Chains A and B, each alone.
Chain A
Amino acid sequence: MDGFLSETANFINLDWMNIAYLFVVGFIGGLVSGFIGSGGAFVLTPAMMSLGVPGLVAVASNMCHKFPKALVGAIKRARYGQVDVKLGLILGISAEAGVLYGIHIQESIKRSFGDAGSNLYVSVAFVVVLGIVGSFVLLDALKTYKSGNTHEEEKATKLAKWVQSINIPGTMVYFKSLNAKVSVLFTIPLGFATGMLAATIAVGGFIGVPSMIYVLGAPSLMASATELVIAFVMGLGGSFKYALSGLVDIRLAMIILGGSLFGIQLGAIGTTYVKPYMIKVVMGVIMITVLFSRGLMVPVYLSQLGILQPLSEATVKLLKNTSFAIMVLALFLGAFIVLKAMWKGIKTEKIATKEAIGHGKI
């Protein structure tokens, strides 16, 4: 790790355009995070790097904006009764271990195969994980939509019922979001996988939220809110680790936080107006779109490793730019769905309130 972190922190000069850019990206990222519990980080790190911020400083600064953002989001959603603090803390602590192991794997790959190998590993992890989990989440949301049961209570999956039925003495913990006792021997690997993914692709929630829903049996709203507790625990530990090596650029972190706190409040408010399956829709759409973004970069890294024929500089540039544009599109798409669903919900609520006032019920 020392070698990995020994690169001297290089803090860029900030002008007003850069500040505005980071603030806006932060806002959109925060909006999505407030709604689905994670997301945004996959754009923020490359967005900072596009300004000339070194990779590690970008990762560290992103991490340092993530934990205060997650804290504010978790407190907000706890007020709506959506957070299972105990589940979040237990998953968060095991996720922290996953983050450390994930960084260790990254370092080994980087040492053996260089930057291209490391980038290829990250892209393949993106494509495989997002391909499998994203398709599953999106198909499940479509199934709910087509069934017309969008108002109905979410039912625990067969897998979740099985997990809840297993009794391993001495390891059982009651979780309010599941309204059941579950062995921590199930939650620890899930948290660990969340952390590993966070260390690899910066968004652990793409494993954390679906695993809480499908493996443990938590409702979507509670899973996405509880993910904010996990993000807080992971982000705090990660930030401190990077800060020990002086890699956090506090200006970048706080500017992004400036925008993202506006976003996370709005995203959290949005969850109170939408049907639960919308969490899955937003998450699934973002995951699948990001998958294409990262998939485009796989040939670039393969050619850099000599596995494919070398690509021309123009092709590499085109693929890189397209990949970044699709990634930004993923975030905007997510934000658009959140705002639209929220707008619709607020409108319906206002009409209902007006009618209630008209009928003298309020």
Chain B
Amino acid sequence: MAGSYWKKKPLGKTMILGIISVMLYAILLMNQDIINSYFGKGSLYALLPIITAFMFSVVHGSFTGNFWTLLGIKAKKKKEVK
């Protein structure tokens, strides 16, 4: 009974997101000079940090969410707000 109650943990999804996330950070840190030179230009290049931030938030945000789920830390069900 308990086995059917607990949902399967998202191991594969977390690993894939984790690898993509690490790759994004590796690209960022291994190309610091070129990235800084473009991102620090200002003007229309201002879109670069904004797009990058959105990209990291999607990938790394999904990864961290799944990471805690994998560790068994999940939200309490049916929490009443009011």
Show the binding face of A for B, using Cβ within 8 Å.
9, 11, 14, 19, 64-65, 67-69, 71-72, 75-76, 79-82, 153, 179, 219, 221-222, 236, 239-240, 243-251, 253-254, 257-258, 261-262, 264-266, 268-269, 271-273, 345-346, 349, 357, 360, 362
Contacts and interface: CB of A to CB of B under 8 A. Distances in A.
A361 to B, nearest CB: 10
Contact of A248 (B39, B60, B79, B82): B39
A362 B73 contact: no
Q: Chain A interface mostly helix, strand, loop or mixed? A: helix
B5 A239 contact: no
B57 A69 contact: yes
A264 B60 CA distance: 12
Given A243-B49, A349-B76, 16 more contacts: A67-B53, A68-B54, A71-B61, A239-B49, A243-B50, A244-B46, A246-B41, A246-B45, A247-B40, A248-B39, A250-B28, A250-B39, A265-B61, A269-B68, A271-B79, A360-B1
Interface in B14-66: 25, 28-29, 32, 35-36, 39-43, 45-50, 52-54, 56-57, 60-61, 64-65
Contacts of A81: 79, 81
Interface of B: 1-2, 5, 25, 28-29, 32, 35-36, 39-43, 45-50, 52-54, 56-57, 60-61, 64-65, 67-68, 73-76, 79, 81-82
A221 B39 contact: no
Nearest to B40: A246
Contact of A261 (B36, B46, B49, B64): B64
Contacts of A244: 42-43, 46
Contacts of B67: 262, 265
B64 A262 contact: yes
B36 A76 contact: no
Q: Chain B interface mostly helix, strand, loop or mixed? A: helix
Contacts of B43: 244, 246
The 9 A-B residue pairs with the shortest CB-CB distance, nearest first, are A68-B57, A246-B42, A243-B46, A72-B61, A272-B76, A246-B40, A272-B75, A272-B79, A68-B53
Contacts of B61: 68, 71-72, 75, 261, 265
A245 B41 CA distance: 7
A30 to B, nearest CB: 9
B19 to A, nearest CB: 15
A251 B28 contact: yes
Nearest to B53: A68
B70 to A, nearest CB: 12
A153 B64 contact: no
A248 B49 contact: yes
A132 to B, nearest CB: 28
A82 B74 CA distance: 16
Nearest to B61: A72
Nearest to B74: A269
A249 B28 CA distance: 11
Nearest to B59: A261
B36 A357 contact: no
Residue in A222, A250, A273, A345 whose Cβ sees the most chain B Cβ within 10 Å? A250
A281 to B, nearest CB: 18
B41 to A, nearest CB: 5
A103 B49 CA distance: 21
10 contacts: A71-B61, A236-B50, A239-B49, A240-B46, A243-B49, A244-B42, A246-B39, A248-B46, A251-B36, A269-B74
